[in-house]
Amino acid sequence: MTAPHRREFLKGLVSSGVAAAAASWNLTGVRSGHGAEPAGGADEIPVPLPRVARFERLAYGMFIHWGLYSQLGRGEWVMNREKIAKSDYQKLRDTFTAEKFDGRRLAGIARQAGMKYITLTSRHHDGFSLYDTRGLSDHDVMHTPARRDLIADFTAGCRAEGIVPFLYHTTLDWWQDSFHQDFAAYLDYLHKSIEILCTQYGPIGGFWFDGNWSKKDADWQEDRMYAIIRRHQPEAIIVNNTGLHERGRLGHPEIDSVTFEQGRPTPMDRRGLPKYVAAEMCQTMNRHWGIGVNDFAYMAPPQIIENLCACRKVGANYLLNVGPTAAGEIPDYESAALRRSGDWVRMHADAIYDGKPAGIEAPGDDFGLDADGRLYLLVHHLGVRGDANVTVGPTGAGPRTFTGVRQKVSKAEWLDNGEALKFEQDLPAGKLTVHCTGFPYGTNTVVRVVKLS
Protein backbone atom coordinates (compact mmCIF):
# COMPACT_ATOMS: atom_id res chain seq x y z
CA MET A 1 0.00 0.00 0.00
CA THR A 2 1.50 3.27 -1.07
CA ALA A 3 1.78 6.36 1.07
CA PRO A 4 -0.81 8.27 -1.06
CA HIS A 5 -3.28 5.40 -0.56
CA ARG A 6 -2.64 5.47 3.18
CA ARG A 7 -3.22 9.21 3.27
CA GLU A 8 -6.44 8.78 1.28
CA PHE A 9 -7.68 6.20 3.79
CA LEU A 10 -6.94 8.45 6.75
CA LYS A 11 -8.57 11.38 5.00
CA GLY A 12 -11.67 9.23 4.45
CA LEU A 13 -12.20 8.98 8.18
CA VAL A 14 -13.24 12.60 8.33
CA SER A 15 -14.58 13.17 4.84
CA SER A 16 -16.92 10.21 4.45
CA GLY A 17 -19.99 12.35 5.05
CA VAL A 18 -21.26 10.98 8.35
CA ALA A 19 -19.77 12.24 11.59
CA ALA A 20 -20.40 8.98 13.41
CA ALA A 21 -18.16 7.12 10.99
CA ALA A 22 -15.20 9.19 12.11
CA ALA A 23 -16.21 9.86 15.70
CA SER A 24 -16.25 6.16 16.56
CA TRP A 25 -12.52 5.94 15.87
CA ASN A 26 -10.46 6.75 18.95
CA LEU A 27 -7.17 8.61 18.96
CA THR A 28 -5.14 5.42 18.57
CA GLY A 29 -6.92 4.83 15.29
CA VAL A 30 -8.95 1.79 16.29
CA ARG A 31 -12.66 1.59 15.74
CA SER A 32 -14.29 1.29 19.15
CA GLY A 33 -16.59 -1.57 19.93
CA HIS A 34 -15.22 -3.94 17.29
CA GLY A 35 -12.68 -5.89 19.31
CA ALA A 36 -9.43 -4.59 17.84
CA GLU A 37 -6.24 -3.97 19.70
CA PRO A 38 -5.02 -0.38 19.56
CA ALA A 39 -2.48 0.50 16.94
CA GLY A 40 0.71 1.95 18.31
CA GLY A 41 2.82 4.65 16.71
CA ALA A 42 2.86 5.79 13.13
CA ASP A 43 5.08 2.89 12.07
CA GLU A 44 3.29 0.13 13.96
CA ILE A 45 0.91 -2.35 12.34
CA PRO A 46 -2.54 -2.66 13.97
CA VAL A 47 -3.74 -6.03 15.22
CA PRO A 48 -6.45 -7.54 12.99
CA LEU A 49 -10.01 -7.61 14.22
CA PRO A 50 -11.06 -11.20 15.01
CA ARG A 51 -13.25 -11.39 11.91
CA VAL A 52 -10.36 -10.24 9.72
CA ALA A 53 -7.98 -12.75 11.30
CA ARG A 54 -10.52 -15.50 10.62
CA PHE A 55 -10.90 -14.32 7.03
CA GLU A 56 -7.16 -14.48 6.40
CA ARG A 57 -7.06 -18.07 7.64
CA LEU A 58 -9.75 -19.05 5.15
CA ALA A 59 -7.01 -18.37 2.59
CA TYR A 60 -8.69 -19.79 -0.52
CA GLY A 61 -12.20 -19.33 -1.83
CA MET A 62 -14.44 -19.95 -4.82
CA PHE A 63 -16.06 -17.08 -6.71
CA ILE A 64 -19.23 -17.98 -8.63
CA HIS A 65 -20.64 -15.71 -11.34
CA TRP A 66 -24.00 -17.03 -12.45
CA GLY A 67 -27.27 -15.52 -13.58
CA LEU A 68 -29.53 -14.97 -16.58
CA TYR A 69 -26.52 -14.19 -18.77
CA SER A 70 -25.25 -17.74 -18.29
CA GLN A 71 -27.91 -18.96 -20.72
CA LEU A 72 -26.25 -16.98 -23.52
CA GLY A 73 -22.76 -18.26 -22.72
CA ARG A 74 -20.97 -15.08 -23.73
CA GLY A 75 -19.91 -13.70 -20.38
CA GLU A 76 -21.62 -11.74 -17.64
CA TRP A 77 -21.45 -8.38 -19.48
CA VAL A 78 -23.39 -9.63 -22.51
CA MET A 79 -26.43 -7.39 -21.92
CA ASN A 80 -24.25 -4.30 -21.86
CA ARG A 81 -21.70 -5.28 -24.51
CA GLU A 82 -24.27 -6.40 -27.07
CA LYS A 83 -26.76 -3.65 -26.16
CA ILE A 84 -29.58 -6.10 -25.58
CA ALA A 85 -32.85 -4.27 -24.94
CA LYS A 86 -34.52 -4.89 -21.59
CA SER A 87 -37.58 -6.24 -23.36
CA ASP A 88 -35.45 -8.89 -25.03
CA TYR A 89 -33.24 -9.62 -22.05
CA GLN A 90 -36.32 -10.11 -19.90
CA LYS A 91 -37.24 -13.16 -22.00
CA LEU A 92 -34.30 -15.00 -20.43
CA ARG A 93 -36.37 -15.18 -17.26
CA ASP A 94 -38.80 -17.49 -19.08
CA THR A 95 -36.11 -20.14 -19.57
CA PHE A 96 -34.23 -19.81 -16.29
CA THR A 97 -34.87 -23.16 -14.61
CA ALA A 98 -31.82 -23.55 -12.32
CA GLU A 99 -32.54 -27.27 -12.64
CA LYS A 100 -28.99 -28.30 -11.76
CA PHE A 101 -28.22 -25.62 -9.21
CA ASP A 102 -27.46 -27.37 -5.95
CA GLY A 103 -25.86 -25.31 -3.20
CA ARG A 104 -24.54 -28.34 -1.36
CA ARG A 105 -23.01 -29.82 -4.52
CA LEU A 106 -21.26 -26.51 -5.24
CA ALA A 107 -20.00 -26.37 -1.68
CA GLY A 108 -18.82 -29.97 -1.92
CA ILE A 109 -16.71 -29.15 -4.97
CA ALA A 110 -15.26 -26.15 -3.13
CA ARG A 111 -14.41 -28.34 -0.14
CA GLN A 112 -12.70 -30.91 -2.36
CA ALA A 113 -10.76 -28.06 -3.98
CA GLY A 114 -9.41 -26.99 -0.58
CA MET A 115 -11.50 -23.82 -0.61
CA LYS A 116 -12.94 -22.58 2.67
CA TYR A 117 -15.51 -20.08 1.41
CA ILE A 118 -17.68 -19.29 -1.62
CA THR A 119 -18.71 -15.85 -2.85
CA LEU A 120 -21.83 -16.13 -5.04
CA THR A 121 -23.37 -13.38 -7.18
CA SER A 122 -26.69 -12.79 -5.46
CA ARG A 123 -27.24 -9.98 -7.99
CA HIS A 124 -24.97 -8.94 -10.84
CA HIS A 125 -24.94 -5.81 -13.00
CA ASP A 126 -27.91 -6.99 -15.09
CA GLY A 127 -29.99 -6.44 -11.95
CA PHE A 128 -31.32 -10.01 -11.76
CA SER A 129 -31.48 -11.41 -8.22
CA LEU A 130 -30.96 -15.03 -7.29
CA TYR A 131 -33.00 -14.40 -4.15
CA ASP A 132 -36.58 -13.51 -3.33
CA THR A 133 -36.61 -9.71 -3.33
CA ARG A 134 -39.93 -9.80 -1.46
CA GLY A 135 -41.75 -7.37 -3.71
CA LEU A 136 -38.88 -4.99 -4.41
CA SER A 137 -38.62 -6.19 -8.01
CA ASP A 138 -40.06 -8.77 -10.39
CA HIS A 139 -36.56 -9.18 -11.88
CA ASP A 140 -35.69 -12.04 -9.56
CA VAL A 141 -35.60 -15.82 -9.41
CA MET A 142 -39.11 -16.05 -8.02
CA HIS A 143 -40.42 -14.75 -11.37
CA THR A 144 -38.79 -17.56 -13.34
CA PRO A 145 -39.61 -21.27 -13.81
CA ALA A 146 -37.10 -22.01 -11.03
CA ARG A 147 -39.42 -20.39 -8.46
CA ARG A 148 -37.11 -21.07 -5.53
CA ASP A 149 -34.83 -18.86 -3.51
CA LEU A 150 -31.38 -19.92 -4.65
CA ILE A 151 -29.55 -17.94 -1.98
CA ALA A 152 -31.42 -19.94 0.64
CA ASP A 153 -30.33 -23.13 -1.14
CA PHE A 154 -26.76 -21.86 -1.42
CA THR A 155 -26.30 -20.78 2.19
CA ALA A 156 -27.83 -24.00 3.52
CA GLY A 157 -25.62 -26.06 1.22
CA CYS A 158 -22.49 -24.23 2.31
CA ARG A 159 -23.20 -24.79 5.98
CA ALA A 160 -23.87 -28.48 5.39
CA GLU A 161 -20.38 -28.84 3.85
CA GLY A 162 -18.53 -26.63 6.34
CA ILE A 163 -18.03 -23.83 3.80
CA VAL A 164 -18.48 -20.17 4.74
CA PRO A 165 -21.05 -18.42 2.48
CA PHE A 166 -20.20 -14.95 1.16
CA LEU A 167 -22.53 -12.90 -1.02
CA TYR A 168 -21.51 -10.74 -3.96
CA HIS A 169 -23.95 -7.91 -4.69
CA THR A 170 -23.69 -5.37 -7.44
CA THR A 171 -24.02 -1.67 -6.72
CA LEU A 172 -24.13 -0.87 -10.45
CA ASP A 173 -27.49 -1.78 -12.04
CA TRP A 174 -28.35 -1.82 -15.76
CA TRP A 175 -31.94 -2.85 -15.07
CA GLN A 176 -33.23 -0.24 -12.64
CA ASP A 177 -34.09 3.03 -14.39
CA SER A 178 -33.62 4.85 -11.10
CA PHE A 179 -29.89 4.11 -11.27
CA HIS A 180 -29.65 6.90 -13.86
CA GLN A 181 -32.82 8.88 -13.23
CA ASP A 182 -33.19 9.08 -9.45
CA PHE A 183 -30.05 7.90 -7.69
CA ALA A 184 -31.43 8.51 -4.19
CA ALA A 185 -34.39 6.27 -4.96
CA TYR A 186 -32.04 3.68 -6.41
CA LEU A 187 -29.94 3.65 -3.23
CA ASP A 188 -33.10 3.07 -1.21
CA TYR A 189 -33.79 0.04 -3.40
CA LEU A 190 -30.20 -1.17 -3.09
CA HIS A 191 -30.10 -0.81 0.66
CA LYS A 192 -33.44 -2.58 1.12
CA SER A 193 -32.03 -5.40 -0.99
CA ILE A 194 -28.97 -5.65 1.24
CA GLU A 195 -31.16 -5.71 4.33
CA ILE A 196 -32.99 -8.74 2.93
CA LEU A 197 -29.69 -10.56 2.49
CA CYS A 198 -28.65 -9.58 6.01
CA THR A 199 -31.82 -10.82 7.70
CA GLN A 200 -33.17 -13.83 5.81
CA TYR A 201 -30.30 -16.28 5.42
CA GLY A 202 -28.59 -16.67 8.77
CA PRO A 203 -24.95 -15.74 9.43
CA ILE A 204 -23.14 -14.57 6.29
CA GLY A 205 -19.35 -14.66 6.15
CA GLY A 206 -19.07 -11.50 4.13
CA PHE A 207 -20.53 -9.11 1.57
CA TRP A 208 -18.62 -8.40 -1.63
CA PHE A 209 -19.74 -5.25 -3.47
CA ASP A 210 -18.86 -4.23 -6.99
CA GLY A 211 -19.79 -1.24 -9.13
CA ASN A 212 -18.99 1.97 -7.27
CA TRP A 213 -16.35 2.59 -9.93
CA SER A 214 -19.21 3.20 -12.41
CA LYS A 215 -20.08 6.52 -10.70
CA LYS A 216 -16.82 7.70 -9.20
CA ASP A 217 -18.14 11.10 -8.15
CA ALA A 218 -21.49 9.93 -6.75
CA ASP A 219 -22.40 9.81 -3.08
CA TRP A 220 -22.96 6.08 -2.66
CA GLN A 221 -24.00 6.51 1.00
CA GLU A 222 -21.61 3.77 2.02
CA ASP A 223 -21.98 4.67 5.70
CA ARG A 224 -25.67 3.86 5.50
CA MET A 225 -25.19 0.58 3.64
CA TYR A 226 -22.41 -0.70 5.87
CA ALA A 227 -24.38 0.30 8.96
CA ILE A 228 -27.14 -2.08 7.81
CA ILE A 229 -24.60 -4.90 7.65
CA ARG A 230 -23.01 -4.08 10.99
CA ARG A 231 -26.45 -3.95 12.63
CA HIS A 232 -27.54 -7.37 11.37
CA GLN A 233 -24.27 -9.15 10.55
CA PRO A 234 -21.60 -7.59 12.78
CA GLU A 235 -19.06 -10.37 12.08
CA ALA A 236 -19.37 -10.20 8.29
CA ILE A 237 -16.37 -9.18 6.20
CA ILE A 238 -17.09 -6.14 4.01
CA VAL A 239 -15.39 -5.85 0.63
CA ASN A 240 -16.01 -3.26 -2.08
CA ASN A 241 -14.13 -4.00 -5.28
CA THR A 242 -12.00 -1.13 -6.57
CA GLY A 243 -11.65 -2.74 -10.00
CA LEU A 244 -8.94 -3.56 -12.49
CA HIS A 245 -7.40 -0.11 -12.46
CA GLU A 246 -7.33 0.48 -8.69
CA ARG A 247 -5.94 -2.79 -7.37
CA GLY A 248 -5.21 -2.68 -3.67
CA ARG A 249 -6.70 0.77 -3.12
CA LEU A 250 -8.10 1.52 0.31
CA GLY A 251 -11.63 2.85 0.52
CA HIS A 252 -14.23 3.47 3.20
CA PRO A 253 -13.07 2.93 6.81
CA GLU A 254 -15.53 0.06 7.30
CA ILE A 255 -13.95 -2.02 4.53
CA ASP A 256 -12.22 -5.15 5.85
CA SER A 257 -10.30 -6.21 2.74
CA VAL A 258 -8.92 -4.55 -0.36
CA THR A 259 -9.18 -6.28 -3.74
CA PHE A 260 -6.74 -7.20 -6.48
CA GLU A 261 -8.84 -8.03 -9.53
CA GLN A 262 -7.14 -10.20 -12.14
CA GLY A 263 -3.68 -9.37 -10.86
CA ARG A 264 -1.32 -10.83 -8.28
CA PRO A 265 -1.39 -8.86 -5.03
CA THR A 266 1.46 -6.69 -3.87
CA PRO A 267 2.52 -6.49 -0.22
CA MET A 268 0.32 -4.32 1.99
CA ASP A 269 1.94 -1.53 3.96
CA ARG A 270 -0.23 -1.34 7.06
CA ARG A 271 2.06 0.84 9.15
CA GLY A 272 0.14 3.60 10.87
CA LEU A 273 -3.27 2.54 9.54
CA PRO A 274 -6.23 3.00 11.88
CA LYS A 275 -7.13 -0.65 11.44
CA TYR A 276 -5.70 -3.80 9.89
CA VAL A 277 -7.11 -4.37 6.40
CA ALA A 278 -6.81 -7.75 4.67
CA ALA A 279 -6.23 -8.36 0.95
CA GLU A 280 -7.81 -10.67 -1.60
CA MET A 281 -7.04 -11.45 -5.23
CA CYS A 282 -10.01 -12.40 -7.41
CA GLN A 283 -9.34 -14.09 -10.72
CA THR A 284 -11.10 -15.98 -13.49
CA MET A 285 -10.06 -19.43 -14.70
CA ASN A 286 -10.51 -18.23 -18.28
CA ARG A 287 -11.32 -14.79 -19.72
CA HIS A 288 -14.87 -14.34 -18.47
CA TRP A 289 -16.49 -14.24 -15.05
CA GLY A 290 -19.74 -15.71 -16.37
CA ILE A 291 -19.47 -18.79 -18.58
CA GLY A 292 -18.02 -18.28 -22.07
CA VAL A 293 -18.86 -21.37 -24.10
CA ASN A 294 -16.34 -20.48 -26.83
CA ASP A 295 -13.54 -19.55 -24.45
CA PHE A 296 -10.90 -22.29 -24.36
CA ALA A 297 -8.17 -20.34 -22.52
CA TYR A 298 -8.51 -22.02 -19.13
CA MET A 299 -5.95 -22.21 -16.38
CA ALA A 300 -4.66 -25.61 -15.32
CA PRO A 301 -3.66 -26.84 -11.83
CA PRO A 302 -0.04 -25.55 -12.10
CA GLN A 303 -1.22 -21.97 -12.65
CA ILE A 304 -3.81 -22.25 -9.91
CA ILE A 305 -1.22 -23.56 -7.44
CA GLU A 306 1.30 -20.87 -8.34
CA ASN A 307 -1.29 -18.09 -8.03
CA LEU A 308 -2.46 -19.38 -4.66
CA CYS A 309 1.14 -19.38 -3.46
CA ALA A 310 1.71 -15.87 -4.82
CA CYS A 311 -1.25 -14.69 -2.77
CA ARG A 312 -0.12 -16.37 0.42
CA LYS A 313 3.38 -14.98 -0.09
CA VAL A 314 2.00 -11.53 0.74
CA GLY A 315 -0.70 -12.74 3.15
CA ALA A 316 -3.59 -12.31 0.70
CA ASN A 317 -6.53 -14.62 0.08
CA TYR A 318 -7.15 -16.15 -3.35
CA LEU A 319 -10.71 -16.03 -4.71
CA LEU A 320 -10.85 -18.13 -7.87
CA ASN A 321 -13.89 -17.81 -10.13
CA VAL A 322 -15.98 -20.38 -11.94
CA GLY A 323 -18.86 -19.73 -14.33
CA PRO A 324 -21.58 -22.39 -14.03
CA THR A 325 -23.65 -23.55 -16.99
CA ALA A 326 -27.07 -22.19 -17.82
CA ALA A 327 -28.60 -24.90 -15.64
CA GLY A 328 -26.34 -24.05 -12.70
CA GLU A 329 -23.58 -26.65 -12.47
CA ILE A 330 -19.82 -26.15 -12.64
CA PRO A 331 -18.47 -27.37 -16.01
CA ASP A 332 -16.50 -30.62 -15.96
CA TYR A 333 -13.10 -29.14 -16.77
CA GLU A 334 -13.27 -26.47 -14.09
CA SER A 335 -14.52 -28.96 -11.53
CA ALA A 336 -11.72 -31.40 -12.35
CA ALA A 337 -9.01 -28.72 -12.30
CA LEU A 338 -10.21 -27.45 -8.93
CA ARG A 339 -10.34 -30.91 -7.41
CA ARG A 340 -6.84 -31.74 -8.65
CA SER A 341 -5.50 -28.45 -7.26
CA GLY A 342 -7.24 -29.35 -4.01
CA ASP A 343 -5.04 -32.44 -3.71
CA TRP A 344 -2.03 -30.11 -3.57
CA VAL A 345 -3.71 -27.86 -1.00
CA ARG A 346 -4.39 -30.81 1.29
CA MET A 347 -0.75 -31.87 1.08
CA HIS A 348 0.34 -28.42 2.25
CA ALA A 349 -2.66 -27.35 4.34
CA ASP A 350 -0.74 -26.18 7.40
CA ALA A 351 1.43 -23.81 5.39
CA ILE A 352 -1.37 -22.51 3.16
CA TYR A 353 -4.09 -21.84 5.72
CA ASP A 354 -2.02 -20.85 8.75
CA GLY A 355 1.13 -19.52 7.09
CA LYS A 356 1.80 -15.82 7.24
CA PRO A 357 4.52 -13.66 5.70
CA ALA A 358 7.46 -13.60 8.07
CA GLY A 359 10.06 -11.62 6.18
CA ILE A 360 11.62 -14.82 4.80
CA GLU A 361 12.69 -13.97 1.27
CA ALA A 362 14.68 -15.48 -1.59
CA PRO A 363 15.56 -14.60 -5.17
CA GLY A 364 12.84 -15.21 -7.74
CA ASP A 365 9.52 -16.67 -6.62
CA ASP A 366 10.74 -18.60 -3.57
CA PHE A 367 9.66 -17.43 -0.11
CA GLY A 368 8.95 -18.57 3.43
CA LEU A 369 5.90 -18.63 5.69
CA ASP A 370 5.48 -18.81 9.45
CA ALA A 371 2.54 -20.95 10.58
CA ASP A 372 2.34 -20.19 14.28
CA GLY A 373 6.05 -20.84 14.79
CA ARG A 374 6.38 -23.59 12.19
CA LEU A 375 8.46 -22.44 9.24
CA TYR A 376 7.94 -23.50 5.63
CA LEU A 377 9.91 -22.62 2.51
CA LEU A 378 8.05 -22.67 -0.80
CA VAL A 379 10.35 -23.56 -3.67
CA HIS A 380 9.48 -22.91 -7.32
CA HIS A 381 10.77 -24.06 -10.70
CA LEU A 382 12.15 -27.45 -9.80
CA GLY A 383 12.45 -30.17 -12.40
CA VAL A 384 12.33 -33.96 -12.25
CA ARG A 385 15.35 -36.16 -11.66
CA GLY A 386 15.55 -39.60 -13.22
CA ASP A 387 17.10 -41.72 -15.93
CA ALA A 388 18.51 -39.64 -18.77
CA ASN A 389 16.60 -41.73 -21.31
CA VAL A 390 13.20 -40.60 -20.03
CA THR A 391 13.74 -37.42 -18.03
CA VAL A 392 13.17 -34.14 -19.85
CA GLY A 393 14.73 -30.81 -18.87
CA PRO A 394 16.89 -29.64 -15.98
CA THR A 395 16.13 -30.71 -12.43
CA GLY A 396 16.46 -27.24 -10.94
CA ALA A 397 18.35 -28.88 -8.10
CA GLY A 398 20.87 -26.96 -6.10
CA PRO A 399 21.22 -24.44 -3.30
CA ARG A 400 18.39 -22.01 -2.58
CA THR A 401 19.28 -19.22 -0.14
CA PHE A 402 16.67 -17.60 2.09
CA THR A 403 17.11 -14.52 4.26
CA GLY A 404 15.11 -13.53 7.32
CA VAL A 405 15.27 -16.95 9.01
CA ARG A 406 15.71 -15.98 12.67
CA GLN A 407 15.11 -19.39 14.27
CA LYS A 408 17.83 -22.00 14.68
CA VAL A 409 17.15 -24.83 12.24
CA SER A 410 17.96 -28.42 13.15
CA LYS A 411 16.34 -30.15 10.20
CA ALA A 412 15.09 -29.36 6.70
CA GLU A 413 12.95 -31.86 4.82
CA TRP A 414 10.56 -31.99 1.88
CA LEU A 415 7.03 -31.90 3.23
CA ASP A 416 5.72 -34.29 0.57
CA ASN A 417 8.01 -37.27 1.20
CA GLY A 418 10.08 -36.47 4.29
CA GLU A 419 13.41 -36.50 2.40
CA ALA A 420 16.06 -34.78 4.51
CA LEU A 421 17.91 -31.92 2.83
CA LYS A 422 21.39 -30.58 3.48
CA PHE A 423 21.54 -26.98 4.65
CA GLU A 424 23.84 -24.32 6.07
CA GLN A 425 22.69 -21.57 8.40
CA ASP A 426 24.20 -18.24 9.33
CA LEU A 427 21.91 -17.45 12.25
CA PRO A 428 23.27 -13.96 13.11
CA ALA A 429 22.77 -12.94 9.47
CA GLY A 430 19.38 -14.63 9.27
CA LYS A 431 20.56 -16.61 6.24
CA LEU A 432 19.67 -20.22 5.42
CA THR A 433 20.84 -22.13 2.34
CA VAL A 434 18.98 -25.34 1.55
CA HIS A 435 20.33 -27.80 -1.02
CA CYS A 436 17.15 -28.66 -2.89
CA THR A 437 16.81 -31.87 -4.85
CA GLY A 438 14.70 -32.27 -7.96
CA PHE A 439 11.41 -34.12 -7.93
CA PRO A 440 11.65 -37.91 -7.95
CA TYR A 441 10.64 -39.32 -11.32
CA GLY A 442 6.86 -39.59 -11.49
CA THR A 443 6.35 -36.62 -9.14
CA ASN A 444 5.88 -32.88 -9.65
CA THR A 445 4.01 -30.77 -7.11
CA VAL A 446 4.72 -27.52 -9.04
CA VAL A 447 5.63 -25.63 -5.85
CA ARG A 448 7.51 -27.83 -3.42
CA VAL A 449 7.54 -27.12 0.29
CA VAL A 450 10.43 -27.49 2.74
CA LYS A 451 9.50 -28.01 6.36
CA LEU A 452 11.99 -26.61 8.86
CA SER A 453 12.38 -28.01 12.36
Q: What is the CATH number for 367? A: 2.60.40
Quote the mean pLDDT of the chain. Answer: 91
Contact in structure between 20 and 14 (CB atoms under 8 Å): no
Distance CA 76, CA 221 (A): 26
Residue 245 has a pLDDT of 82
Q: Do 205 and 260 share a domain, yes or no? A: yes
- Regarding predicted confidence, which is higher, 394 or 208? 208
Residues 390 and 289 in one domain: no
The CB density around residue 427, as the number of other CB atoms within 10 Å, is: 12
> Which residues face 140 on adjacent strands?
129
Residues 17, 219, 271: CA angle, nearest 5 degrees: 60
Examine residue 87 and state whether it is found in any structural domain, yes or no: yes
Cα 447 to chain centroid distance, Å, stands at 21
**pLDDT bucket at 31, cuts 50 / 70 / 90:** very low
Q: State how many domains the chain has.
A: 2
Same structural domain for residues 421 and 305? no
Segments in 256-331 forming alpha helices (H): 301-313
140-to-69, 130, 193 alpha-carbon distances in Å: 13, 6, 11
In whole angstroms, give the CA distance from residue 247 to residue 261. 6
At 226, phi and psi to the nearest 5? -70, -30
For residue 386, the model assigns a pLDDT of 81
Q: Residue 23: pLDDT above 90? A: no
Tell me the pLDDT tens digit for each residue of 85-112.
999 999 999 999 999 999 999 999 999 9
In a domain, 5, yes or no: no
Of 162, 233, 172, 173, nearest to 197 by C-alpha is 233
Report in angstroms the alpha-carbon separations of 277 from 53, 56, 147, 290, 369.
10, 10, 39, 28, 19
Query: What is the C-alpha separation between 307 and 163, in angstroms, rounded?
Result: 21
Residue at 441 is within a domain? yes
Same domain, 61 and 195: yes
What is the model's pLDDT at position 40?
Answer: 52
SS3 of residue 173 by DSSP? coil
Domain boundary among 317, 347, 377: 347
Question: How many Cα atoms occupy the beta-carbon half-sphere of 18 within 13 Å?
Answer: 16
Classify residue 28: in a domain, yes or no: no
Q: Are residues 178 and 270 in the same domain?
A: yes
pLDDT reported for residue 16? 35
Distances (CA, A) of 361 to 376, 406, 449: 12, 12, 14
9: in domain: no
Contact in structure between 385 and 437 (CB atoms under 8 Å):
yes
Is the pLDDT higher at 195 or at 386? 195
Give the end of a domain, one of 311, 328, 347: 347
Range of the domain at 361: 356-452
What's the average model confidence in pLDDT over 279-292? Answer: 95
Domain of 148, CATH number, reads 3.20.20.80
* Cα–Cα distance measured from residue 169 to residue 171, given in angstroms and rounded to the nearest whole number: 7
Do 341 and 398 sit in the same domain of this protein? no
**452 three-state secondary structure:** strand
Q: Do 378 and 312 sit in the same domain of this protein? A: no
Assess whether 438 and 301 both reside in one domain: no
b/e burial code for range 210-221 (CB count within 10 A of at least 16 → b): bbbeeeeeeebb
- Encode pLDDT of 224-280 as tens digits: 999 999 999 999 999 999 987 888 888 899 999 999 999 999 998 999 999 999 999
- Residues 121, 58 share a domain: yes
Q: Does a structural domain hold residue 96? A: yes
- pLDDT > 90: percent of the chain: 85
Question: Per DSSP, what are the bridge partners of residue 427?
Answer: none
pLDDT per position as a tens digit, 324-368: 999 999 999 999 999 999 999 999 999 999 999 999 999 999 999
On whether residue 3 sits in a domain, the answer given is no
What would the mean pLDDT of 65-80 be, rounded to a whole number? 98
Tell which residue, 34, 445, 14, has the closest CA to residue 238: 34
Looking at residue 11, its pLDDT comes to 44
Within 13 Å and on the Cβ side, how many CA atoms surround 59?
A: 27
> Is the same domain home to 339 and 360?
no
Domain finish residue from 326, 347, 368: 347
pLDDT digits over 307-334, tens only? 999 999 999 999 999 999 999 999 999 9
Same-domain check for residues 234 and 179: yes
Evaluate whether residue 152 is within a structural domain: yes
| Same domain (yes/no): 343, 383 | no
DSSP label at residue 74: B
If DSSP codes are grouped into helix, strand and coil, which group holds residue 120?
strand
Q: CA dist 185 to 24, 63, 126, 201, 252, Å?
A: 28, 30, 18, 25, 22
pLDDT tens figures, 132-186 = 999 999 999 999 999 999 999 999 999 999 999 999 999 999 999 999 999 999 9
pLDDT at 30 over 50: no
pLDDT at 399 over 60: yes
